[in-house]
């Protein structure tokens, strides 16, 4: 079976189909970046961004419970911004938690999990995504 594709440039899927999140750290200013860039957007240095595997645990920085989205997107879902323990910041879906404010609290510990995205592109390719779950 074909290796699934990744939903984001910072989600790396290896030849065995195993996924991890990879960020880059600037050796000059220590900024941590997910999206690709030619130089460090924090200090402008070139050739200083070193890739590393992101620690799969973090804490919830902010969230919203999304009740209305675009056609075809299942609602409600919880959109979260997470400060990973190594300083990387990721946005994703929090799953396995009830979509009510009472069930969510700031700074709650979460962990990264990897799973089928449940969506295919027009060519029928499968995708792997990352999700957050309460830790």
Partner 1 sequence: MRDVYIVGIDMLRFGRFPGKTPGELGAEVALGAMDEAGVSIRDIQALYCGNQFDPVGMIAQDVQKQIGQTGIPSANIKNACATGATTLREAMFLIKAGAADITLAVGCEVMPRGLLGGGEPAAGISTEGLLGSGSMPCVFAEAGHAYARDYGTSFAQFAQVSVKNHWHSTMNPKAMYQKETPLEEVMQAEMIAYPNTKLMCSVNVDGAAAAVLMSEEEVRRRGLMGQAVKIRASALASDPYTPRNLAMWDINTATRMAADKAYEQAGLGPDDIDLVELHDCFATAELLHYENLRLCGVGEAGRMIDTGETRLGGRIPVNVSGGLLSKGHPIAATGIANMYEVVAHLRGTAGARQVEGARLGMTHVVGLGTVAAVHILEKSL
Tokens of 79: 């959109």
The 23-62 contact track toward partner 1, x by CB under 8 A, reads --------xxxxx-----xx------------------xx
Which of the residues 38 through 57 are near Zn ion (CB under 5 A)?
40, 42-43, 45
* Distance of alpha carbon 56 from alpha carbon 90, whole angstroms: 11
Q: To the nearest whole angstrom, how small is the minimum distance from the Cβ of residue 42 to Zn ion?
A: 4
* Distance of alpha carbon 46 from alpha carbon 37, whole angstroms: 10
Contact 23, 51 (CB under 8 A): yes
Could you tell which of Zn ion, partner 1, none binds residue 57, using a CB distance below 5 to 8 A set by kind? Answer: none
Query: In sequence order, which residues have a C-beta less than 8 Å from that of residue 31 and are 6 or more positions away?
Result: 25, 40, 41, 42, 43
Q: With binding defined as CB under 8 A, does residue 77 bind partner 1?
A: yes
Query: In sequence order, which residues have a C-beta less than 8 Å from that of residue 131 and are 6 or more positions away?
Result: 92, 93, 94, 95, 112, 113, 114, 115
Q: With binding defined as CB under 8 A, does residue 70 bind partner 1?
A: yes
Supply the DSSP string of 14-35, one letter for each residue.
-TTS-EEEEEEEETTT--EE-S
Q: To the nearest whole angstrom, how small is the minimum distance from the Cβ of residue 31 to partner 1?
A: 6
Among 9, 17, 18, 29, binds Zn ion (CB under 5 A): 29
Which of the residues 80 through 119 are near partner 1 (CB under 8 A)?
80-83, 87, 89-93, 101, 106-107, 117-119
Could you tell which of partner 1, Zn ion, none binds residue 28, using a CB distance below 5 to 8 A set by kind? Answer: Zn ion
Give the residues lining the site for Zn ion (CB under 5 A): 26, 28-29, 31, 40, 42-43, 45
């Amino acid at each position: 079976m074909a290796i699934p594709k990744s939903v984001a440039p910072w989600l790396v899927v290896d030849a065995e189909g195993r996924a991890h999140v990879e960020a880059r750290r600037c050796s000059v200013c220590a900024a941590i970046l997910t999206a690709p860039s030619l130089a460090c957007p924090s200090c402008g240095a070139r050739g200083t961004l070193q890739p590393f595997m992101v620690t799969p645990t973090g804490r919830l920085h902010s969230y919203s419970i999304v009740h209305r989205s675009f056609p075809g997107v299942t609602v409600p879902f919880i959109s979260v911004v997470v400060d990973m323990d190594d300083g990387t910041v990721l946005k994703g879906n929090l799953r396995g938690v009830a979509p009510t404010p009472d069930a969510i609290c700031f700074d709650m510990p979460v962990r990264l999990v990897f799973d089928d995205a449940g969506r295919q592109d027009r060519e029928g390719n499968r995708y792997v995504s990352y999700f957050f779950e309460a830790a």
